[in-house]
């Protein structure tokens, strides 16, 4: 079993966003197991994890406006182009340290 953590923690300037994209390789299937987010407790500061980011079929896997940790069961079937995106969004007038981590497990399929 292969485990992977996709994470991004950064000082996000006022009125801006920071993203981290992870492409799931073609033919691979990964299960999202856990989400951890750290953000200021404000509706103007957000941590989000998106699957199929930038497409019409975009799915929100997890989102928080504060500190959170919870199971986020979701299956990711890669085609070499679909993106798992971590978004750190700061819509305030101050810089904030924001972060997120997503724990994944690769499904090993024997043919």
Task: Give pLDDT tens digits along the chain (111 positions).
Answer: 799 999 999 999 999 999 999 999 999 999 999 999 999 888 999 999 999 999 999 999 999 999 999 998 899 999 999 999 999 999 999 999 999 999 999 998 654
Is residue 95 within 8 A of residue 12, CB to CB? The reply is yes
The token pair at 24 is 């799931």
What per-residue confidence (pLDDT) applies to 108?
80
Residue 76: the pLDDT is 96
Torsion of CA 36, 48, 52, 60, to 10 degrees: 90
Instruction: Single out the residue of 84, 98, 110, 79 nearest to residue 32, CA to CA.
Output: 84
Domains defined along the chain, listed by start:
2-106 (2.60.120.510)
Confidence at residue 111, expressed as pLDDT on a 0 to 100 scale: 44
């Amino acid at each position: 079993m292969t485990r992977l953590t996709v994470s991004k923690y950064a000082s996000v300037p006022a009125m801006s966003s920071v993203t981290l994209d992870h492409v799931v390789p073609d033919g691979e299937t990964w299960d999202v197991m856990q989400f951890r987010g750290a953000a200021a407790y404000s509706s103007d500061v957000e941590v989000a994890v998106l699957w199929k980011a930038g497409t019409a079929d975009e799915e929100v896997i997890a989102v928080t406006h504060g500190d959170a940790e919870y199971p986020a069961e979701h299956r990711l079937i890669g085609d070499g182009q679909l993106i798992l995106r971590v978004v750190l969004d700061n819509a305030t007038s101050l810089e904030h340290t924001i972060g997120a981590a997503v724990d994944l497990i690769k499904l090993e399929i024997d043919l």
